[in-house]
Structure 1
Amino acid sequence: MTSVEELLAGLPPVRPVDPGEVTGGGHLVVLDDDPTGTQTVADVPVLTSWSVDDLRWGLRHPSRACFVLTNTRSLAAADATARNREVLDALVVAAEAEGVEPVVASRSDSTLRGHFPVETDALADDLARHGRPVDGVVIVPAFPDAGRITVDSVHWARTAAGMVPAGETEFARDATFGYRSSDLREWVEEKTGGRTAAADVLAITVADLRSGGPQHVAELLSGVRDRQPVVVDAACDDDLRVLASALLQAESRGTRLLYRIGPAFVRARIGQAASPPLDAAALRAYGSGHGLIAVGSHVGLTTAQLAGLRELGGVEEFELDVPTLLDPASRDDHVAEVSARAAEAMRRCDAVVRTSRTLVTGADADESLAIARTVSAALVDAVAATVRRHQPAFVVAKGGITSSDIATEALGIRRAITRGTLLPGIVSLWEPVAGGAAGTPYVVFPGNVGDEHALARVVGSLRS
């Protein structure tokens, strides 16, 4: 099995870039297909609604960025297209009202799951309609904090056994967003159904970033036209900062770029340094008491992390049985029973409400997605009923779609600020700023990051 050291052997040395050197450019607006994209940044606004007023609030923030939670990874392709266009139409109005120039990023999974090229096509079409035609689509899935790096255009993911090409991971077998290719040029060809050949994709390599530097990369980017896909290597934050500097140079010369990114890019693009996890003193400001952990993610890592949480102790678990949830005759009674028991448990310990661990899929991708939405809706209803009975001291949501649905539908979070991380670069804490959940720490924990003890460490930190 390949190690990180083997992948990086022989590459040019890292070109150090101070985060503060990455300045200027338009206001970065990240359309996030689930809420986990906030996991690398601090003090950045998050919107779960995209009215013009909400977007204007986000654009006023001094962080130079805001996240708009679209949750499109849980939608069918046609619905994802419509939602992206709806957000962009409102954004154009809000940006003109605030007098800012937005730069649009479509944030998706660092393991390559999501609606590509559906979302970038929708955004590029709409940008052209608003007089902002796109020259290039810059694809940067690398997320070094979580062990996802791109070298010579091949995307890799860290596993317990070592580094594995992305196309050979469990994520590539996703029932809805599966793929075969690990080389991002071939992945673009695969996902576009051959519309864009691998040979027509511009590749920016580690050598371009480290030996050529921002000026060289900016010259490469300045030559793209007609929405040409650009795939970019990155093995560390400094690689991403070189890219960010190059993008700013290319955009200052008039090149219009649309980004398709993983979480780490945002931190580099807005000039933030990686910050240490929130400490006990910061967390104590939110008060004390027992919390609620909601688990919808079904990947194997999440199941292992649940086992690690059991070892920590101080929790009671309540299972939502998926076959029961899919039966309309039994669903409501089952949800009511689980929520009542979880609320009662929070009076004495932390409570876990989780879906059963056996993955249930449909006959095709759309049917599998419909099942996932049904299960997620039941988990949302269970969490909403639980917090009505007993207000938790904190809420942890495990899984991308789970985190989005619980934030918007169970807790009614409309505006929040991401305050930092609980694990370095992979698990973020939001502070809701309005509504019934205002001031209650909300932890967005992706399903596919961390080791088997990560969930226990997060809950342990919150108990501090």
Structure 2
Amino acid sequence: MFLESELLSSFPPDTPVSAAAVRKAIDAGGTKAEPVLVVLDDDPTGTQSVADLPVLTTWTVEDFAWAFAMDGPAVYVLTNTRSLDPQEAFERNRQVVRNARVAAGESRAVTFVSRSDSTLRGHFPLEPDAIAGTLANDFDEQIDGVVIVPAFPEAGRITIGGVHYMRQDHGTVVPVSETEFAQDATFGFTHSELARYVEEKSGGRIPAASVIGIDLSVLRQPDEQRTAHAVAAILDRAHDGSIIVADCVSENDLRRLALGLEAAEARGKRFIYRVGPPFVRGRIGQEMRAPLSADDVFGALEPRDRGGLIVVGSHVGLTSRQLAELTRQHPAATVIEIDVQILLAGGRGAYLDQAVGEVTAALTAGDVVLHTSRQLVRADDAAASLRIARSVSDALVEVVNRTLKTYAPRFVIAKGGITSSDVATHGLEIRRALVRGPMLPGIVSLWEPVQGPAQGIPYVVFAGNVGDDSSLAAVTRTLSSRFETTVPTRNAR
């Protein structure tokens, strides 16, 4: 554990850079068509840092044509690849890139972003490899480098001196390899230094010594023009898919990096980005949106006079604490547990029939918290653990979908990456939506489904590993019409 202030003491201080400065640099391209960022989001939590952008859960050429027609600077595509095995993830990346590139044609430039976890979990380097390979093999387009920026300052994930840290209490940080996330059953790792992480995850194919670094001494030049030149000069060294890792501690750092990336791309450099959630906001020069209020969410809707549904699948320690705090603060909510051991033992059909009946009945009286049992069930290998996770997620999704078609809730909150992806795509059958903005400062996004059975139902995507212990309760309080009522708690099972 280290003091963040001591780690930063050898670097220049942070100074303000406006989102407008990034937009001005982008606009300075004149008649050059600025590429649309196509963000391949390996779970839907990547949208929590942006607002007013389209999001797709299917990726046909027609889907991309709809999204591109909005003329926004970025389009999100929910690939959900973090829940897939490597071969499936590779193929899904290839499909998305191919269809996006076909939809763009010759009239629209696109740049691809592989958005993944700010705690370094996910299919790396497989996903950037799939993107680069598809561009090269199908469209004869070569990239110069893969820029890795996992930082997510609002959630306490920062990179200093090429090392990725997680903020703790009292101004301290811990290398991310020393956290529970590094012990992930599927995507575990042992290195926090990003160059060594790259070498580890590539099985030595990409030596740490070959990784190009952009640290805070480069990003924090005395003025924005010098920053852009300094970053672009380093990026000029990238060729044939070089790996570049960048420091980031603040939104200002993301914007400084964006200025340098814009300058390098204006010189003809082409990159793929492997990033955490806030990178896209910084890269397109979007302001940080204030959290949405209930009036923002329901103003144009006719909110249903019934309970909302909070679905909790994530098993990280923070989620379990948030679940406990929600039920403490909101005793009127009905709490229904899906026991994983019962699911895996058999009798699944009757068990889920019972759960659907309990959920729909409880929604008439108030909010419902539907969660999986908190003991994480793991297997001996990553693939088997992933299959168990999929089986559990499928059960939650079935309950949500059948509930939607029986008694649609006032709102839906989904907690956890795989959970929120599956609830969106299969539980609520969302195909196209608009990201309206965050529910908490810089984190937790609200989607507006634009078609299908969930149209008119606000949907909140809540990552498993963000916020504090009270955050889930805070979001529920904003959306609920029944928070802290006198309706008695019903704890099923």
Common fold by TM > 0.5 = yes
Return 5+ residue gaps in structure 2 as ranges. 27-33, 482-493
| Counterpart Cα distance in 1 of 2:167 and 2:465 | 11
Is 1:233 the counterpart of 2:247? The answer is: yes
TM-score (norm 2): 0.92
Which residue number in structure 1 is paired with residue 325 of structure 2?
A: 308
- Select the residue among 338, 347, 350 that pairs with 1:320: 338
Which residue number in structure 2 is paired with residue 34 of structure 1?
A: 43
Which residue number in structure 1 is paired with residue 466 of structure 2?
A: 449
- The CA deviation at 1:160 is 4.9
In structure 1, what residue type is equivalent to 2:439?
A: L
SS of 2:105's equivalent? helix
- Select the residue among 144, 148, 151 that pairs with 1:142: 151
Q: Provide Cα deviations, 1:196-233, integer angstroms capped at 9, x if missing partner.
A: 11110001001110025111101111220111100000
| Counterpart Cα distance in 2 of 1:276 and 1:7 | 30
Question: How is 1:423-442 mapped onto 2 (pairs within 5 angstroms)?
Answer: 423-442=440-459
Q: Provide Cα deviations, 1:134-169, integer angstroms capped at 9, x if missing partner.
A: 110000000001000000000001245742101000
Aligned residues: 462
SS of 1:134's equivalent? coil
In structure 1, what residue type is equivalent to 2:423?
A: I
Which residue number in structure 2 is paired with residue 55 of structure 1?
A: 64
Q: Provide Cα deviations, 1:344-399, integer angstroms capped at 9, x if missing partner.
A: 11111100111110000111011111111111111101111222221101000000
- Select the residue among 248, 262, 268 that pairs with 2:282: 268
Which residue number in structure 2 is paired with residue 176 of structure 1?
A: 186
Which residue number in structure 2 is paired with residue 218 of structure 1?
A: 232
SS of 1:22's equivalent? helix
Question: How is 1:57-456 mapped onto 2 (pairs within 5 angstroms)?
Answer: 57-96=66-105, 99-129=107-137, 130-160=139-169, 162-211=172-221, 213-285=227-299, 286=301, 287-288=303-304, 289-313=306-330, 314-327=332-345, 329-456=346-473
- The CA deviation at 1:4 is 3.2
* Alpha carbons 1:336, 1:385 under 8 Å: kept: no
CA gap of 1:462–1:6, structure 2 versus 1, over 3 A, is: farther
SS of 1:435's equivalent? coil
| Counterpart Cα distance in 2 of 1:455 and 1:2 | 29
- The CA deviation at 1:16 is 2.5
Q: CA RMSD in A?
A: 1.3
SS of 1:326's equivalent? helix
Is 1:463 the counterpart of 2:477? The answer is: no
* Alpha carbons 1:189, 1:198 under 8 Å: kept: yes
Which residue number in structure 2 is paired with residue 16 of structure 1?
A: 16
TM-score (norm 1): 0.97
Amino-acid identity (%): 51
* Alpha carbons 1:63, 1:270 under 8 Å: kept: no
| Counterpart Cα distance in 2 of 1:401 and 1:6 | 36
* Alpha carbons 1:113, 1:172 under 8 Å: kept: yes
Q: Provide Cα deviations, 1:312-338, integer angstroms capped at 9, x if missing partner.
A: 2221111111111123x3111111111
| Counterpart Cα distance in 2 of 1:335 and 1:3 | 48
Which residue number in structure 1 is paired with residue 486 of structure 2?
A: none
Runs of 4+ residues deviating >4 angstroms: none
